[in-house]
Structure 1
Amino acid sequence: MATRSTIMDTNSFRSEHADALSPEIRKLTDKRSKVLGESYRLFYRNPVHLVRGEGQYLWDAEGKKYLDVYNNVASIGHCHPAVIEAVNQQMKLLNTHTRYLHEGILDYTESLLETMPAEIDRAMYMCTGSEANDLAIRVARAWSGGTGIIVSQEAYHGTSELTSGVSPALGSGQPLAATTRLVLPPDAYRVAAEDLGEWFANEIQKQIDDMAAKGIKFAGFLADSIFSSDGVLPGPRGFLQKAVDVVHKNGGIFIADEVQPGFARTGDTFWGFARHGVIPDVVTTGKPMGNGIPVSGLLAKSDVLAAFSDQIPYFNTFGGNPVAMAAAQSVLKVIKEEQLQEHSRVVGAQLLAELTKLKDKYECVGDVRGAGLFIGFELVKDKQSKSPDKTLALDLIEALRNECVLTSVAGPYGNVLKLRPPMAFQVGDIDWLVGALDRSLAKLGH
Structure 2
Amino acid sequence: MSRSVCVVGVGMVPFTKPSKTDPYDVMGAAAARKALDDAGVDFAEVEQAYVGYVYGDSTSGQASLYGIGLTGIPVVNVNNNCATGSTALFLARQTVESGAADCVLALGFEQMSPGALGVGFTDRPSPLARFDETVDARRGPEPDSPLAPRYFGNAGLEHMERYGTAPETFAQIAVKARRHAANNPYAVFRDSVTVEEVMASPPIYGPLTRLQCCPPTCGAAAAVICSEDFARRHGLDTTVRIAAQAMTTDFETTFDPTDMRRLVGYDLTAAAATAVYEAASVSPDDIDVAELHDCFTTNELITYEGLQFTPEGTAEKFVLDGQNTYGGRIVTNPSGGLLSKGHPLGATGLAQCSELIWQLRDTADARQVDGARLALQHNLGLGGACVVTLYERAG
Output the TM-score relative to the length of structure 2. 0.26
- Which gives a bigger RCO, structure 1 or 2 (Cα 8 Å, sep 6+)? 2
Output the TM-score relative to the length of structure 1. 0.24
